[in-house]
Amino acid sequence: GLGFNIVGGTDQQYISNDSSIYVSRIKKDGAAYLDGRLQEGDKILSVNGRDLKDLRHKDAVELFRNAGCDVSLKIQRRLQPQNGPVGHRGDGESGGLPLAAILVPGLALAAAAIWILLRYRQRV
């Protein structure tokens, strides 16, 4: 097999009012896992040029089963993980302020304070 499971279809909507096909699980050491490009939660738009729009789940499964050895998938990357803590972005970023947004103004204030101190000491 291709090494992943799918959910969705016109008869088994994974997301309300969306009959698209999604990757639900990547099987460890399977073809998709070893390739590394497909991720859980990705929407699969087409298989070998065949659009997956408006297909029943079992028809989509059959397309994957008959895809052959060289498989071309057109996917849409998920925007956010389906599971996980609220506020987790899943892209390695904390979602807070960048460190530079805190350090640069802080360093500017410190430099200004040192300049004022030095100017004051010269006058005394």
CATH number at residue 39: 2.30.42.10
pLDDT value at position 24? 94
- Walk along the chain (124 residues) in steps of 10 and give the mean pLDDT of each run: 92 92 94 92 94 94 90 85 49 53 72 79 68
pLDDT value at position 100? 63
Inside any domain, residue 34: yes
pLDDT value at position 121? 73
Q: Which residues contact 42 (CB under 8 A, 6 or more apart)?
A: 22, 23, 75, 76, 77, 78
pLDDT value at position 97? 54
Inside any domain, residue 100: no
Give the closest residue to 24 by CA, choosing from 81, 88, 63.
81
Inside any domain, residue 86: no
54: domain range?
4-76
Instruction: Please state, in angstroms and rounded to a whole number, the distance separating the CA atoms of residues 30 and 124.
Output: 76
Inside any domain, residue 50: yes
Inside any domain, residue 41: yes
Inside any domain, residue 103: no
* Total domains present in the chain: 1
Inside any domain, residue 16: yes
pLDDT value at position 88? 41
Inside any domain, residue 27: yes
